[in-house]
Structure 1
Amino acid sequence: MPDRNSAAHRAMAAAVARMPDPVSYQETALLETDLVAAFGTCRAVAVSSGTAAITTALAACGIGEGHEVLLPAVTVVMTVAAVAACGARPVFVDSAADGRGMDLNDLAAKTGPATRAVVAVHLAGRTDGIHDLAAYTRATGLRLIEDACQAQGTTSGGRQAGTIGDMGCFSLKDGKLLACGEGGYLLTDNTDLAARAAAYRTHWQSDAPDAPAGTHLGVNFRLAEPLAALARHHLTRFPEALAQRREQAAALHRAVDGTPGLEPITAAAGEEPNGYAALWRLTLPDPRAFAARLAQAGVPNSTGTHRLTAAHLHPACSRFASGDLPHARVTVDALLAVPFTEHDTDEAIHRRALTIRREAVRWTR
């Protein structure tokens, strides 16, 4: 390998710098422009998945080996995997006693010299506690990354989910309100972080502040052009998709609320959820078993169908666990989150409501 100061090395670096950014493909670039216009941020960076978006955001923030990242124990394993992929250690934070967001006292107690970022996870389109987290990270100098993969279109305090922290991460996987089969994107008002994210997703073949092309290792997290074109098409009807999802959630709540053993989880003050899922807190005996029974009866839900488990209790995350987090465990086990897709008809929602009410009555007999 040539010396960094040699003519050969300088020539190689210059050649790398002249290489076109493969992510400046037309459809991807246009999608990023459209996302900026739709969500009101300075920059958007398209990537290959929602998990890739979180990994890219962490890498753009310089997070890696020897660092710790705080995240809620009430999360999906994909968020944990993204932190681990960067070489950082995930540190799980307990839920608040009411199940809304992270326990700020536990968050503060687990913030240490190695802590570099907090990841807020907006499960089922809810952003509980995001403004308190933003205030905490501003005061402590930590980065705040939002996992908003399930929160496209949710607003809190007049702000779009994913635009409150330093970077917001989204998924374009089927089932999301904005989808193209597979893919993801980041939103940010920090142009330096956007440049680093764009460089990282394509083997660092483009320049970033203090990191010219070819000076760092990156990955291939590029979004395929046909998928970018499909996402652009679906973005044009995003307002209609958002309205549909909100009405679906509202319709299921109207039909189910009042059923003994199911307490509706209402939106926080100032929040307008996107309707990703209808949400209840189960007060029935053995709520996880009840959720599994609903799944068997044709009602998809987070714990019964997808086996959502508090992260510190998940087998794949056991090496990161450090003690019990009782509020997180109870929050997950008592959660009934019933998601929707654009293909769910009024009749299908009506059948789900009948099933939920019937099974709840049977469960308590």
Structure 2
Amino acid sequence: MSHSTPAATPGATTMRATALGRLAELLDRSPDPAGDGHARALETELADRFEAAHAVVLSSGTAALHVALGASGIGDGDEVLVPGASVVMTLVAIRLTGAMPVLVDSACGDLDFDDLAAKTTVRTKAVLPVHLAGRCADLARLTAYCADRGLRLIEDACQAQGTQYDGRWAGTFGDAGCFSTKDGKLLWSGEGGYLLTDDAGLAARARSFAAHGFLPAPDQPAGSRLGHNYRMPEPVAIIARGNLARFDELLALRRRQTRHLLDQLTDAPGLTVIPSDGRHAWNGYAPLLRVELDRPREFCARLAERGVPNSAGTYGLTTADRLPSLKDLALSACPAARADLDTTLAVVVHEADTDARLDEMARIITEEARQWR
């Protein structure tokens, strides 16, 4: 079965022509160490597109998380509450500040609020929900929880570009929302990331933190604080601007791809679609199915061997307490999150996946499920 790349859409063709023209102009002019016109333009366009007061573009989604935490004053001795179902990049960003992640049990994207309350202490400074596969926690309840306790709310929305919750964009509920533009994300540029915020002071501190502390920020004169080199390069910003201009097309495509694959799996035994609730306008980031077969993680690994990439089988997605790289932290177990991730098939799809490719993945999944039973 053919895996050929789909024909370029008018939006993709326009994006390529625009990006190539901008890259040519960039290459033709004399090098300017302070040149960041496309990065600054991208910030304005992102803020406008997702209805935020400020956007800060950065070198990666992990950098966005680190910058948001650092700009929020999170540091040594602090604790950050984070779902047990988190990717390692989220935990790394917390540790880079010197803070300690504290795992809260979670399932199907939502947090266990009883566990959240039990683990909130005087050392807790922030809550960091992770919108895996574009699914969000109860953000209205979480916003109120943080406001009542004076906690920062920082959203890891790296997989949630285009998701709306209660009619509002994911990543705009908290003090800051963090996003990735790595390949595979809906808005992609090879590498890169950004944060959204309505807090002008946080945005200024974020820009300074991402530029070695050389920029002034409220209560932080230029050079008064150490920072990092997390700036987004101009060529990356050019690609991101091109894809942002066709974001509606990219969002519609991902939703259509996910629906297409799920529609082909209605006869797959032991697999049921995990629906989103009525409060989500979900971005369709990944087709999600509940695996009701024996040894579900082994089943996901088998699919990966057969060429069906998925979170558990290909990338080993599991709860943070089971990650070998974090074993020295002795993180608490999260049984509901573990059971949820262990029985979730999240198929990885990409803009270039044709209907024929999606049909082939559906055929393999159905075939393996029948044999597994």
Shared topology, TM-score over 0.5?
yes
1:84 matches 2:95: yes
1:18 is matched with none
TM-align CA RMSD: 1.4
Q: Could you tell me how far 1:359 is from its partner in structure 2?
A: 0.6
**Aligned residue type for 1:64:** G
1:196 matches 2:205: yes
**Aligned residue type for 2:276:** A
**Is the Cα–Cα contact under 8 Å of residues 82 and 129 in structure 2 kept in the other structure?**
yes
Q: Could you tell me how far 1:24 is from its partner in structure 2?
A: 6.9
Q: Could you tell me how far 1:23 is from its partner in structure 2?
A: 7.0
Aligned partner (choices 243, 258, 283) of residue 252 of structure 2: 243
Aligned partner (choices 100, 118, 141) of residue 127 of structure 2: 118
**Aligned residue type for 1:234:** N
1:67 is matched with 78
**Secondary structure of the corresponding residue to residue 293 of structure 2:** coil
2:154 is matched with 145
Q: Deviations over 1:243-271 (max 9, x none)?
A: 00000001111111353211211112220
Q: Percent identity?
A: 51
**Secondary structure of the corresponding residue to residue 103 of structure 2:** strand
Q: Could you tell me how far 1:67 is from its partner in structure 2?
A: 0.4
2:236 is matched with 227
Q: Distance in 2 between matches of 1:335 and 1:84?
A: 27
Map residues 309-328 of structure 1 onto 2, 5 A cutoff: 309-328=318-337
Q: Distance in 2 between matches of 1:324 and 1:73?
A: 8
259-268 vs 80-89, which deviates more? Answer: 259-268
- Inter-CA distance 213–327: structure 2 relative to 1 (3 Å threshold): same
Aligned partner (choices 49, 52, 60) of residue 38 of structure 1: 49
Q: Distance in 2 between matches of 1:37 and 1:194?
A: 15
Q: Could you tell me how far 1:129 is from its partner in structure 2?
A: 2.2
Map residues 269-280 of structure 1 onto 2, 5 A cutoff: 269-280=278-289
**Secondary structure of the corresponding residue to residue 164 of structure 1:** coil
**Aligned residue type for 2:275:** T
**Aligned residue type for 2:279:** G
Q: Distance in 1 between matches of 2:40 and 2:305?
A: 43
Mind listing any 5+ residue stretches in structure 2 that lack a counterpart?
1-32
- Inter-CA distance 95–23: structure 2 relative to 1 (3 Å threshold): farther
Q: Deviations over 1:253-310 (max 9, x none)?
A: 1111353211211112220111110001111101000000111111110000011011
Q: Deviations over 1:173-232 (max 9, x none)?
A: 011111111110000111111111011000111111111111111111011111111111
Q: Distance in 2 between matches of 1:132 and 1:340?
A: 31
**Aligned residue type for 2:314:** T
Aligned partner (choices 28, 31, 36) of residue 25 of structure 1: 36
- Inter-CA distance 23–319: structure 2 relative to 1 (3 Å threshold): farther
**Is the Cα–Cα contact under 8 Å of residues 44 and 187 in structure 1 kept in the other structure?**
yes
**Secondary structure of the corresponding residue to residue 211 of structure 2:** coil
1:285 is matched with 294
Q: Could you tell me how far 1:328 is from its partner in structure 2?
A: 1.3
Q: Distance in 1 between matches of 2:60 and 2:321?
A: 24
Q: Distance in 1 between matches of 2:109 and 2:43?
A: 32
Q: Distance in 2 between matches of 1:93 and 1:138?
A: 18
Q: Deviations over 1:287-344 (max 9, x none)?
A: 0000001111111100000110110111112122344221111111111101211100
Q: Distance in 1 between matches of 2:198 and 2:331?
A: 35
1:265 is matched with 274
**Is the Cα–Cα contact under 8 Å of residues 102 and 332 in structure 2 kept in the other structure?**
no
Q: Distance in 2 between matches of 1:159 and 1:24?
A: 34
**Secondary structure of the corresponding residue to residue 144 of structure 1:** strand
2:138 is matched with 129
